[in-house]
Amino acid sequence: QDQLQQKIICPGPVTCLTASPNGLYILAGVAESIYLWEVSNGNLLAILNRHYQDLTCLCFTDDSSHFLSGAKDCLALVWNLYNVLQAEPSQIPDPRHVWSRHSLPITDLCCGFGGPLARAATASLDQTAKLWEISSGELLLSVLFDVGIMAVTLDLSEYHMFCGGMDGSIFQVDLCAWPVQRDRTFQTERENGKVFKGHRNQVTCLSVSTDGSLLLSGSHDETVRLWDIQSKQCLKTMNHKGPVTNAFIVLAPANMFNPDGKPSVPLPKFSRHLHGTESSDEPGAEGVTLRLGMHQQEPGQSYLEKAERMYSQMYSTREKNLVGDQEHLTIQVSELEEEVSNLRKINKDLFDFSTRIITKPAK
């Protein structure tokens, strides 16, 4: 069995959990609140209380600049991460958009590619799945089904939207169908070739492979199924001891097959109090806190952009180490040392030249 790296005690039962794609932040839904932690030091950065009932789902945009939240209060909210991080602890930042077109609890969220310009899909017990534009907040498409929808996802090219129903059916919705209609009804008897049938209970999660050929689904019937999207045939069934609540397809990390690829830095304990409100006299409390107000920011890169750049540099160096490209790093270090030596020599020559000019006696 894998060794447990860290056990994190949260303020209450966690109903949904997600991590930013850049690995810097963790979001958790606890009752009606959204908790935001920084992974590197475990600081609790924000507690967002804008939902009126329990959270059901959370997801980030692919560039980690925004995140979406859905709850039993029928609302889906779009948050700007930068605004959340820069808000004062005493203030609750406003979401960028409030989507209130669903009439029953939100069950799932999915965000496409494009950062703040991406499209997002929401699923609900009101038997609809809706497609939205994050930048403007406008509703692009609403599809009505004959069952409640429990899961939704988009393929990589966003040609299709897949929706999992309470009866175990999975529906494939063509997003490029003609004529273009904002409100559509998915009639199962007419679109038999666009339904995946096999699950005997509600579908809880969906995931599409990067090449768009395979669909992974999990269900309360205690199975995970792998489907061929083109033929709608089930290729493989994996049985579990209990209802499946989540399953998804991910790219294998570079160090997956490296036996020595273990984390070098232990994961810190996540704080249960907002960062900045806990006492600094606590044992083990250390570090420097830097906070830029909105009026103090200098033109140029924002905090998130700088963090993203630093993370990408650290990540590229770590990847090179993991794949064994140590020789390249050694050559690079030696080149940098040689450049530093040359700069020191030039600096010394300039200093000597300036000294001779200054101390030269006047004629």
Query: Do 222 and 141 share a structural domain?
Result: yes
In a domain, 298, yes or no: no
Q: For residues 272 and 47, which has the higher predicted lDDT (pLDDT)?
A: 47
Residue 281's pLDDT is what? Answer: 40
Angle at 40 between CA 35 and CA 42, to 5 degrees: 40
Q: What is the largest CA-CA distance in the chain?
A: 106
Is the pTM for the entire model greater than 0.95? no
What is the C-alpha separation between 58 and 71, in angstroms, rounded?
9
In a domain, 223, yes or no: yes
3-state secondary structure of 240: coil
In a domain, 122, yes or no: yes
Q: For residues 213 and 268, which has the higher predicted lDDT (pLDDT)?
A: 213
Residue 146's pLDDT is what? Answer: 93
Query: Do 232 and 142 share a structural domain?
Result: yes
* Burial (CB count <10 Å: 0-12, 13-18, 19+), residue 173: buried
Does residue 12 contact residue 30 with C-beta atoms inside 8 Å? yes
What is the C-alpha separation between 162 and 196, in angstroms, rounded?
10
Residue 145's pLDDT is what? Answer: 94
Query: Do 116 and 245 share a structural domain?
Result: yes
Q: At what angle do helices 326-359 and 303-322 cross, to 10 degrees?
A: 120
Query: Do 93 and 151 share a structural domain?
Result: no
Strands across the sheet with 160-165, in order? 149-154, 160-165, 170-174, 195-196
What is the C-alpha separation between 113 and 111, in angstroms, rounded?
7
Q: How many residues does the chain have?
A: 363
In a domain, 274, yes or no: no
User: How many domains are there within the chain?
Assistant: 2
In a domain, 325, yes or no: no
In a domain, 310, yes or no: no
pLDDT tens, position by position, 108-152? 999 999 988 999 999 999 999 999 999 999 999 999 999 999 999
| pLDDT class of 321 with cuts at 50, 70, 90 | low
What is the C-alpha separation between 278 and 138, in angstroms, rounded?
40
Q: Which residues pair with 208 in a beta bridge?
A: 215
What is the domain-level CATH number for residue 216?
2.130.10.10
In a domain, 270, yes or no: no
What is the C-alpha separation between 220 and 346, in angstroms, rounded?
71
Query: Do 127 and 237 share a structural domain?
Result: yes
Does residue 40 contact residue 314 with C-beta atoms inside 8 Å? no
Query: Do 20 and 116 share a structural domain?
Result: no
Name the residue among 342, 319, 315, 320 with its Cα closest to residue 330: 320
Structural domain span for residue 53: 1-100
Query: Do 94 and 144 share a structural domain?
Result: no
Query: Do 70 and 120 share a structural domain?
Result: no
Q: Which amino acid is at 323?
A: V
In a domain, 206, yes or no: yes
* Residue that terminates a domain, selected from 197, 217, 251: 251
pLDDT over 90 at 53, yes or no: yes
Residues 6+ apart with CB under 8 A from 117: 134, 135
Which CA distances in Å does 37 have to 11, 23, 47, 218, 343?
A: 12, 11, 9, 28, 42
pLDDT tens, position by position, 222-249? 999 999 999 999 999 999 999 999 999 9
Query: Do 195 and 91 share a structural domain?
Result: no
Q: Which amino acid is at 359?
A: T
Instruction: Return mean pLDDT, the chain.
Output: 84
Tokens 């932040």, residue located = 25
Query: Do 222 and 127 share a structural domain?
Result: yes
* Residue that terminates a domain, selected from 227, 251, 275: 251
Residue 276's pLDDT is what? Answer: 67
Element (H, E) at 315: helix 303-322
Element (H, E) at 328: helix 326-359
Query: Do 84 and 135 share a structural domain?
Result: no
What is the C-alpha separation between 356 and 359, in angstroms, rounded?
5
What is the C-alpha separation between 332 and 326, in angstroms, rounded?
10
Query: Do 118 and 95 share a structural domain?
Result: no
Name the residue among 80, 179, 170, 96 with its Cα closest to residue 129: 170
Instruction: Give first-to-last CA distance, the chain, whole Å.
Output: 86
What is the domain-level CATH number for residue 29?
2.40.128.630
